Structure 1
């Protein structure tokens, strides 16, 4: 169990994981808190929208319907991997679910079959709606699945949870089928790898072929390696190279701990290479890393 993050902490946590965030309307104060408690938090729940089109889907999740007011989640993940924040606080996304499932999420144990709907899920879960028709045919682009991986890992990392704290709506409420198109076990494996510093092979960020191995330089450790709380001599070596390239944004010089100064410095390096937009978010990708030529320890 955990106290909900503040809206500012939530935003910072997602960005620190390399998530491309779009802030929608008055999302920080858009919630259903007057209808019941929010918290303690126990996990992350993934849904699909059964809609198409980014603008249409985001508007629906922000406003809701006459019979189900918005917000219908906290973030909408589009097919390009962008996360549109539409609410923060209690949201109409989880509904009633199985208390045995909640107990398993809290204990991070194997999920039982959901056969009851007696527990308020809106109180206990962060919710993300993913734009997909849910017909088993609508594709799930890798950028979208990587964004699911990132937002889940970011929240789990903040609260000290494992990937077992991430579930699908279909695992919570009887009769639900979302998300449809990938397995939650497979997604939890991806999230676990990212939490272990092995996830994120670069995805759509800094796209480009992997150059031949050069033993004198440190190999790319994966974008999941770079997160708040990471401490490694590799971070110091990277920072020194960024300073050497004229991209350093440090007050006291590079240190072993990954900080916002490292992210801003790396963003300057990506921009120097010509990357723009989400390809210059300050989280290392394989192509920019290899061009930086960080010395191997």
Structure 2
């Protein structure tokens, strides 16, 4: 497959502002073999397009074909292969077979709506251009076991919105709920006497990881347990860690009934 010199035209179909970084059409570590998927990242910094273009100590640039600024402007950085995902858990998302999008974010700051909208529109147009099913749009954290990005984005919901855009429908509007409100919304309501309510709680914690900041997990002592696939053996530790999380509920938005139920099974 030749260098992807159509990327700027594809990006402009999103309706978002686009900047072509000088030299992008010939920039890359050789051509891609195929385009089988898209990998979504955050940069872990600010104003760092130059890092995506030029690389960093120990890793030469380009590191991704696209850099997405926080204001929703799309920068086309490279047309060839980029070092954005290795080792990959998916054969369709290796550096030789996927397009990388590096979105400007320090890994903690909430995503601006304009940037998230551009992210989804860009993924939709890449799927359209290369005939990709939406299922091939993956977060870095889904195809590389050591990565957390893109932070706080539930990729299932993200793909749902990309699919809606491909159907010509508007993506679901981003909500303004705090992380504690989202937790209450998604965590099953627990009542004394419910069967398997401990399993429900653990499942809710695992699901919540899709949007709670990594920093919250680290502060609450939950990250180690949530990174594991099983929750039966780790359940008591999960709940004890969750009690620490209560201290972070400075807004008081998690209802007392929820905390009482969690305390009962700890």
TM norm structure 2: 0.61
State the distance in 1 between where 2:7 and 2:21 align: 14
CA contact (8 A) 1:97 1:173 kept: yes
Residues 230-269 of structure 1: pairs in structure 2 closer than 5 A: none
Per the TM alignment, residue 6 of structure 1 is displaced from its structure 2 partner at its CA by 3.3
Q: Structure 2 residue aligned with 1:18, among 15, 18, 25?
A: 15
Aligned counterpart, 1:41: 35
State the distance in 2 between where 1:4 and 1:10 align: 12
Deviations 1:207-263 (A, max 9, x none): xxxxxxxxxxxxxxxxxxxxxxxxxxxxxxxxxxxxxxxxxxxxxxxxxxxxxxxxx
State the distance in 1 between where 2:2 and 2:162 align: 20
Aligned counterpart, 1:89: 80
Aligned counterpart, 2:202: none
State the distance in 2 between where 1:6 and 1:133 align: 28
Aligned counterpart, 2:28: 31
Residues 140-179 of structure 1: pairs in structure 2 closer than 5 A: 140-179=111-150
State the distance in 1 between where 2:161 and 2:151 align: 17
Q: Indicate yes or no: 2:57 matched with 1:59.
A: no
Per the TM alignment, residue 17 of structure 1 is displaced from its structure 2 partner at its CA by 2.6
In structure 2, the residue corresponding to 1:96 is in which secondary structure? coil
In structure 2, the residue corresponding to 1:122 is in which secondary structure? coil
CA contact (8 A) 1:4 1:40 kept: no
**Superposition misfits of 4+ residues, deviation over 6 angstroms:** none
Unpaired runs of 5+ residues, structure 1, are 106-119, 204-297
In structure 1, the residue corresponding to 2:59 is in which secondary structure? coil
Aligned counterpart, 2:178: none
Aligned counterpart, 2:4: 6
CA contact (8 A) 1:21 1:84 kept: yes
State the distance in 1 between where 2:21 and 2:71 align: 17
TM norm structure 1: 0.55
Matched residue pairs, number?
174
Aligned counterpart, 1:131: 104
Distance 1:10 1:202, change over 3 A: farther
In structure 1, the residue corresponding to 2:52 is in which secondary structure? helix
CA contact (8 A) 2:68 2:115 kept: yes
Per the TM alignment, residue 67 of structure 1 is displaced from its structure 2 partner at its CA by 0.5
Aligned counterpart, 2:166: 195
Aligned counterpart, 1:211: none
Unpaired runs of 5+ residues, structure 2, are 175-266
State the distance in 2 between where 1:18 and 1:121 align: 28
Per the TM alignment, residue 163 of structure 1 is displaced from its structure 2 partner at its CA by 1.2
State the distance in 1 between where 2:119 and 2:141 align: 16
